[in-house]
Amino acid sequence: MSAEETLAQLAGKISVCTNCVLNETRKKSVPGDGPADAEIMFIGEGPGFHENEQGHPFVGAAGKFLDQLLAQAGVTRDEVFIGNVVKCRPPGNRDPLPEELAACDEYLEAQIQTINPSIIVTLGRFSMNKFIPGAKISTIHGQMRKVGERFVIPMFHPAAALHQAALKPSILADFANLPDQLNEARAALGRKAVVKKKESIAPKNEKPKQLSLF
Ligand code: URA
């Protein structure tokens, strides 16, 4: 099975999962979006209102800010994988409970193994705690460290930075460092950049029209 197929199969399992109570109130599960060969994986907390409606991660206000942050790092959504520690919305956007995090972890682990990213960026304390238990985000944000076979960079949650203006310069600076950190991670892991082939928009058997300069 290809990595794409494995991710699709996982998304199918997540959509009918009943491993925790969050399935009782979910409208749509949110398995995460992005290519199966993404070099960077962002892991947030859990779906909010809009994500639960649409089935996609970070599509509300925090998502708009995340788009700005990605631009700061010179990447677009279609180059990275964006997911969450829990795949179904905690009612009223409450914090996910330990048993919900534990129940959903097998899906996140399977996604990480399948995508095998060079870097995992944790957004907020719940995903940071999975990789760096007991750490304090205010002291280690933006710092890349090796955790197992890959690198982890803890960052503030975009929603936190939206609500606390004082965090905004830090999160912007942390995202601006990502390209250098990716190069560092690639070198340390002996990996090359994933070069994406640009899809031709010209119909098959038809040469792209040369635009006149005049
Ligand atoms: N906040 C998250 O942590 N994840 C989402 O998908 C949306 C908002």
List Cβ<8 Å contacts ≥24 apart for 127-131. Answer: 127/43, 127/44, 127/45, 127/84, 127/85, 128/154, 130/43, 130/85, 130/101, 130/105
Ligand 1 neighbour 52 (Cβ under 6 A): no
Residue 205 has pLDDT above 70, yes or no: no
DSSP state of 31: -
* Paired tokens of 94: 């409450």
- The residues, any chain, with a CB within 8 Å of residue 191's CB and separated by 6 or more, are 39, 118, 185
Q: State the Cα–Cα distance between residues 203 and 209, nearest whole angstrom.
A: 11
Domain range 3-189, CATH class: alpha beta
Which residue ranges make up each domain of the chain?
Answer: 3-189
- Across the chain, mean pLDDT equals 92
pLDDT over threshold 50, residue 202: no
Q: State residue 214's pLDDT score.
A: 33
Q: How many A from CA of 140 to the centre of ligand 1? A: 21
Q: Comparing C-alpha atoms, which of 85, 47, 86 is closest to residue 63?
A: 47
Average pLDDT on 53-80 reads 96
| Average pLDDT score over residue span 203-214 | 41
Distance, CA of 36 to CA of 8 (rounded, Å): 10
CA gap 26, 55 in Å, rounded: 10
The pLDDT tens digits of the residues spanning 153-175 come to 999 999 999 999 999 999 999 99
pLDDT at 199: 52
Q: Which pLDDT belongs to residue 206? A: 43
* Ligand 1 atom 7, closest CA: 58
State the distance from the centre of ligand 1 to the C-alpha of 57, rounded, in angstroms.
Answer: 6
The reply to whether ligand 1 has any atom less than 6 angstroms from the CB of 51 is yes
Q: Is 33 in the pocket of ligand 1 (CB under 6 A)?
A: no
Q: Which residue matches tokens 């699709």?
A: 8
For residue 130, pLDDT beyond 80: yes
Q: How confident is the model at residue 4 (pLDDT cuts 50, 70, 90)?
A: very high
